[in-house]
Structure 1
């Protein structure tokens, strides 16, 4: 169970609530999709890329803040010291701050659409936002049914990578779709890992996450198979000629993957010790995504 508020120094609480490392989750799909576009076209629109990155960060901030609000309504966060709603004691403020971030993010996406004179990217990102709301928002709360990882895969994989690719090329690509599978899987792992330390709270609130359904031991056994699959997929796509050889650079992130797998297996049933595993998953996500995108960029040079 999550440690109570008075047991944390205030600064650490705020950093845990804001979760700065998690925002790489917003950046990597844009990076990989844009890198694939550069590999195929030798063209890179830096203004579109920068605007998309900023917009993605704002939209993820909305997602995180609104999730805190929605979770406060179910009682699942009553023991979560680093909930922004619990820290501020002002659910309404957090709700409207989140909506402000959403508006800023959508303004960035609209700017891209204006440059392109094409609303396609707007449509894709609006679909992501709708799915993001359905993840925790009433009356859907699909995350409580154990569907969060699937939504995460779709939004941060095929949809986000396709949107990033289209923002650079105004076209579609088999290579970007293939790359989006890898980004989607490793992003879903972050959400999957976030459940290990809160099984009691999830059960009490009726949240049937995959870890709750399978138990921590079986979930810890499954993690290396799912996480390791991204490296198998990269190798397979290189062999099939879908990816350039340079994308094998992503294999250099394997130490971060092994670190995550070992940690979760060792501490899967010890909430206080396993609670940081989502940040180990973020490390794996960051380095695998960064190196994958770099492989595409180098292939174009």
Structure 2
């Protein structure tokens, strides 16, 4: 059910030898020489020594950057745990539950928190197993924040992934039984299946560039709608009430799917070289970063355009437009950051975290608007 900081540019010292290396003629490079060499051009021994130093300084390690060479172990562990990414567990659940509250005025807290813990465990399985299988293919060979590389053990990581999955699955089954609605379990099963075929052998559809459609389906139509159904079912001991499918929950699921897929899409920008090396055909490998930045622009624009369309057509309550529109500055931040830095594989690393902020903020605003609409709270 899931799929993922601040970069610093290359050291200034690197640019001096690179400009020497790119000089086409001696005359063009003389302006870079110290004044003593210009005053005594016949001093061949000095010039030779300078050229020797130039050759030594022009060697730049392929991956010399803060991202790979100067990261503390604490930051590596932070990146490996991917804590911000766990918002993708909270947002579909909270949005789906609030959509159900808008319909019924009831909220089952035990189911909500059981599903929250279970969803976090399922996402932990996805993250850990993804590191395991990427380690097997070699795509994470030089990725220091890979859990396998940090622990130094593939088997331990894989065992932890499977343990998380089975415990999480028990929680999902319990909540589905409590709801009394088979649709809850079926949709959650479909969502998990999307996650499995996304990364696990023999499918590994992420290597064929199908990660984003699978991510959209898993978190949007499947998970968000399943969590909506989970708040119906056994409302009273003598009554079983099944929630209807409405335009509100479907539009909410659409929003969740878009913002979640945007996180995955932006996580590819800084991994193009590694993906190409192992034959992983991500969307950014297919059409490049410039087109990718345009895709981000279209996605963010579509998100807010649909918001106002759904409110104007009364599919969503008016307060939804007010609260969700408050996240437009975050959407603009994502759009501008990617547009300006899509070619910088160090800085662009941060893009996915900006997308996480947008995803969480938009989801909270959407869920809050449903609660306010039900309780008739006006701003």
Which TM bucket (shorter chain)? over 0.9
- Give 2:345's aligned residue: 271
- Give 1:171's aligned residue: 243
Select which of 183, 189, 192 maps to 1:120: 183
- Give 2:312's aligned residue: 239
Shift of 1:116: 2.8
1:39-98 CA-partner distances (Å, limit 9, x unpaired): 111111111111111111111111111100011111111121100011111111111101
1:10 is aligned to 2:87: no
1:210 is aligned to 2:283: yes
Q: Distance in 2 between matches of 1:264 and 1:116?
A: 42
Select which of 257, 269, 274 maps to 1:201: 274
| TM-score calculated relative to the size of structure 1 | 0.97
Shift of 1:110: 1.5
1:192 is aligned to 2:265: yes
Shift of 1:190: 0.1
1:300 is aligned to 2:363: no
1:75 is aligned to 2:138: yes
Shift of 1:122: 2.1
Q: Is the 8 A contact 1:4 1:80 kept in 2?
A: no
Select which of 110, 113, 121 maps to 1:50: 113
Select which of 34, 38, 48 maps to 2:97: 34
Alpha-carbon spacing, 1:189–1:157, altered in 2? closer, same or farther (3 Å): same
Provide structure 1 residue ranges, at least 5 long, that are not aligned to the other structure. Answer: none
Q: Secondary structure at the match of 2:231?
A: helix
Q: Is the 8 A contact 1:109 1:121 kept in 2?
A: no
Select which of 198, 221, 225 maps to 1:158: 221
Select which of 249, 257, 278 maps to 2:331: 257
1:94-146 CA-partner distances (Å, limit 9, x unpaired): 11101111111111112112323444322222221121111011111100111
1:291 is aligned to 2:356: no
Q: Secondary structure at the match of 1:134?
A: helix
Q: Distance in 2 between matches of 1:182 and 1:117?
A: 27
Q: Distance in 1 between matches of 2:363 and 2:342?
A: 25
Task: Give runs of ≥4 in structure 1 deviating > 4 Å.
Answer: 1-6
Alpha-carbon spacing, 1:56–1:199, altered in 2? closer, same or farther (3 Å): same
Equivalenced residue count is 301
Q: Distance in 1 between matches of 2:183 and 2:271?
A: 39
Q: Secondary structure at the match of 1:40?
A: helix
Select which of 355, 360, 377 maps to 1:281: 355
Q: Secondary structure at the match of 1:180?
A: helix
**Higher Cα radius of gyration:** 2
- Give 1:228's aligned residue: 301
Higher helix share: 1
Provide structure 2 residue ranges, at least 5 long, that are not aligned to the other structure. Answer: 1-62, 233-241
Alpha-carbon spacing, 1:4–1:273, altered in 2? closer, same or farther (3 Å): closer
Q: Is the 8 A contact 2:179 2:229 kept in 1?
A: no
Q: Distance in 1 between matches of 2:309 and 2:112?
A: 29
